[in-house]
A and B are shown apart, each in its own frame.
Chain A
């Protein structure tokens, strides 16, 4: 080091003194600084008075170990504050000195130079900073370019300080490209000495953090969100995080690292948090893309602890309103991985399910349905992928789980929307050539629906079951596939049960008082609901019980549904309706020869169990006495008529229809109800399910017409088509008398057309509709049927009018039928068509 020339304490000298020294400078130049950068030809040589150089030289001690010469540093600082126009030259001179020292491996002096520059940087006024920054950054870069880890770390620390300084007018041509590249490389240091490796990586992360801080607020300086930067920064952070393995530890056992002991994983994590937190909507993808890519390349999906950990960090740090972008990206990533192994997809879906709840709270409007739709699409694709693989099934479960988690955190009104949306995606009625994949898709979608349903808490039935939801649900309760029917019942259970009685009512029993049921008086809206929709529901349940493919689970599930309805909708009217239904079911068990013995037994068990339940729930002592008599008789004569429901009964064992006192009797019940203060008159009218008592088959045909006009008639042509379909695809559905499948369309024709023409037109119409329903979406079907329903009401009115005005023309049988049915139409139709 050259000797320090005598320090001058004078303030900047006048211009003439400067001139006198020019020749001296020239000499010096030739001798020592020949390789100095040629800064240009602006002819400003006269400003190059070496005073600043001397001041700079003076801060260096003879021995680098002695450190910065503090008093001289003060002089330099004072000088540069008073002559800020010299700052760029001071900086440049420092840079040249340091370059030389690095080259000669005199690191002690380099460190001192850096320290001095740091101090000048801090001392500079904001307005003048710009003059200095250029050479300062060149200096930092120079140090980073050296192979000496110590210098690299020093430079990074200095850069971090620089990044914390607020600049008034950042220089727009400044670029941080090199810093991002170099710091990212440092994050991946593979230095042999572990301690040094850690230090270099730590410095790399700190450097990246500093660049982000420096640039994030001003895109003009450097758009740090450009992929060219993010593709370096993000993997560098993740690479350091994944090495920690602390995400593998149990949640409870995570000990916070000592505050002062920074380690790369912890720092990388906090840096990622900061980065994500600063990302605006337009930038979020630039962060997420390299994250996803990193997980792919480093095979970090399976097992997925680190992925879950990382995505939790992301979703908690991201500005809340963008959180659904994370969900969206993960889902898009599932798309991209459609060819990957089911294990990977399951893991991704699992990550999704673990963060989706957090996003749900912030998702609004269309994004909600988009997310649901996307999940459903993935389910559909998965079904296409493979039907029998266990791994694929796990993937589906993970998706359904995600769906449930998502729905769980949405407000209830959105849950209903979602349920209706899922419903609209279920392909129904089943196709004629239904494949196992179609079946699977239906049942998977129903499972999703069930999942959402379990997260929903019913308050009023009319909000839970809008007609547009209830109606297709009931239709699906008659699906040919028993699995699917069971799912529909389970959906009904979870939606009907408001008092946590579901568990208690899951198995048929006559020991009702042991159940400890929670009861509450039903509200007016509920009673209005069941008045309106009860008949359709009961009919769907009744019809479902006729299906030959029912297992004991199917029948028991219907028991649960009926019981829940009793418990949740206790009213005098409901009592009568349900007793009527029970009588119908009992009749079915006795007369329907296509049911197996075990099905018949199961039905009897259902009947007595619900009957007993009614007595307890509605507190009907006389009726209960009657019930107990029957139970006692059954216990004596055929205990298989009592719970529990079995799937197999002893060979050649059938319920004996002739056995006295073991079945409910309509007339007896009517009398007893009167004793209990209820009006049984409706019960003594002709039952919609048949005459009621054992052996009274006479009324069956009427029940059919009733049911057709309600449950199926309500959807008119859809109902007809479905019947056609189910006949061809499922022999299980009872359709003995096709002539009886009356809809109003049909009825009108019956009344007005000659039989031949009617049959022809009907066949044609069915064909056409069949085609339509095979190809149309549910939305289209709704569209198509909607105006019809409205039409129908007008038509009905016409018919009724014409009936009353011209009865003479009707045959007696027709007349009778129509007359009986009038009240039912009036009661049920207007609402049924109110989509």
Chain B
């Protein structure tokens, strides 16, 4: 039994193999999946969390990293409230691709989207990207930054909670309130934000 006051859409992007699916599974199911196949197209998970005593539902869209699914994955950017851009701290090429990903985000996502840079797999010994390099990149591009390990469950909870908090803050800002009134007018109901339509219009 659950209900929620806020619904936010979170989309994960980044090269194939950086651990997007593992991050999502760790967060939504509390497990580190052994050898699952690569994501194709998009995958979908849901998790409801509590922020300041309010239920917040996170719709998490996990995308395939491969180029060939780009057209379908990009179509999910637009309605995203938050975009998590993931790279693998033990794999330089996944970091080198970040500018390309940013370009795509610029092109297809809302300009107001919350952007988070995540360096995953910090449990690994063979780090190639120092923390400060990731941090620098994030601050240069006006993103949050966090390093995680889906395997060890490091910072995964924190990552999504941070997003939920931040989006809730945003949602409580004036823009949203004005929007709520509109909803009330259309539906003739209360100002409870319950379904996806309100949020897709937020963007």
Contact = CB atoms under 8 A, between A and B. Distances in A.
A173 B200 CA distance: 12
A231 B75 contact: yes
Interface string A634-668: 00000000000000000000000000000000000
B41 A177 contact: no
A192 interface: yes
B197 A173 contact: yes
Contacts of B61: 181, 185
A35 B48 CA distance: 14
Nearest to B183: A173
Contacts of A187: 41
Interface in B67-83: 67-72, 74-76, 78-79
B41 A184 contact: yes
B3 A35 contact: yes
Interface stretch (B89-97, B136-144, B148-156, B187-195): B187-195
Chain A CB count within 10 A is highest, among B67, B70, B75, for B75
A528 to B, nearest CB: 61
Interface stretch (B32-40, B114-122, B163-171): B32-40
B72 A236 contact: yes
A511 B192 CA distance: 97
A100 B1 contact: yes
Contact of B39 (A175, A190, A232): A190
B76 A40 contact: no
B62 to A, nearest CB: 9
A9 to B, nearest CB: 31
Contacts of B43: 185, 188, 190
Given A37-B3, A37-B192, A177-B79, A293 B42 contact: no
A190 B38 contact: yes
A190 B72 contact: no
B47 to A, nearest CB: 10
B70 A40 contact: no
Nearest to A239: B41
A297 interface: yes
Interface residues on A, range: 35 or more
B161 to A, nearest CB: 20
Contacts of A235: 41, 69, 71-72
A173 B184 CA distance: 11
B37 A188 contact: no
Interface residues of B, number: 40
A534 interface: no
B46 A145 contact: yes
Contacts of B46: 145
Contacts of A181: 42, 44, 61, 76, 79
B111 interface: no
Given A96-B1, A100-B1, A173-B197, A41 B45 contact: no
Interface in B37-66: 37-46, 59, 61, 64
Contact of A298 (B1, B44, B68, B189): B68
A37 B79 contact: no
Question: At the interface, is chain B mostly helix, strand, loop or mixed?
Answer: mixed
B79 A99 contact: no
B2 A228 contact: no
A138 interface: yes
B67 A138 contact: no
Interface string A178-194: 10011011011010100
Contacts of A147: 29, 45
Contacts of B64: 188
A299 interface: yes
A99 B46 CA distance: 13
A173 B187 contact: yes
A39 B29 CA distance: 30
Contact of B41 (A36, A38, A188, A299): A188
Question: At the interface, is chain A mostly helix, strand, loop or mixed?
Answer: helix
Nearest to A296: B71
Chain A CB count within 10 A is highest, among B36, B37, B70, for B70
A290 interface: yes
Contact of B69 (A172, A227, A297): A297
B37 A190 contact: yes
B186 interface: yes
B96 to A, nearest CB: 21
Contacts of B189: 39-40
B44 A293 contact: no
Chain A CB count within 10 A is highest, among B37, B44, B79, B194, for B44
A290 B73 CA distance: 12
Interface string A431-465: 00000000000000000000000000000000000
A141 to B, nearest CB: 8
A138 to B, nearest CB: 7
Nearest to B7: A178
Contacts of A227: 75
A413 interface: no
B61 to A, nearest CB: 7
A177 B44 contact: no
A213 interface: no
B72 A177 contact: no
A103 interface: yes
Interface in A232-290: 232, 235-236, 239, 290
A228 B196 contact: no
A177 B197 contact: yes
Contact of B200 (A100, A177, A293): A177
Contacts of B187: 173
Contact of A175 (B2, B36, B68, B196): B196
A231 B200 contact: no
Interface in A8-39: 35-39
Contacts of B41: 184-185, 187-188, 235-236, 239
A92 B197 CA distance: 18
A103 B2 contact: yes
A235 B200 CA distance: 21
A228 B75 contact: yes
A340 to B, nearest CB: 15
A342 B187 CA distance: 56
Chain A CB count within 10 A is highest, among B3, B41, B64, for B41
Contact of B68 (A36, A39, A100, A297): A297
B200 A175 contact: yes
A294 interface: yes
Nearest to B47: A145
B76 to A, nearest CB: 7
Nearest to B55: A35
Contacts of B39: 190
Chain B CB count within 10 A is highest, among A39, A141, A181, A184, for A181
Nearest to A95: B3
A231 B71 contact: yes
A156 to B, nearest CB: 13
> Which 6 A/B pairs are nearest by Cβ-Cβ distance?
A188-B41, A231-B75, A175-B197, A40-B190, A100-B1, A235-B72
Given A39-B190, A145-B46, A228-B79, 6 more contacts: A141-B195, A175-B195, A184-B41, A185-B61, A231-B75, A239-B40
28 contacts: A36-B3, A41-B190, A100-B1, A103-B1, A138-B195, A141-B196, A173-B183, A173-B187, A173-B197, A175-B196, A175-B197, A177-B197, A178-B59, A182-B44, A184-B42, A187-B41, A188-B40, A188-B64, A190-B38, A192-B37, A239-B72, A290-B71, A294-B71, A297-B67, A297-B68, A297-B70, A298-B68, A299-B68
Interface of B: 1-3, 29, 36-46, 59, 61, 64, 67-72, 74-76, 78-79, 183, 186-187, 189-190, 192, 194-197, 200
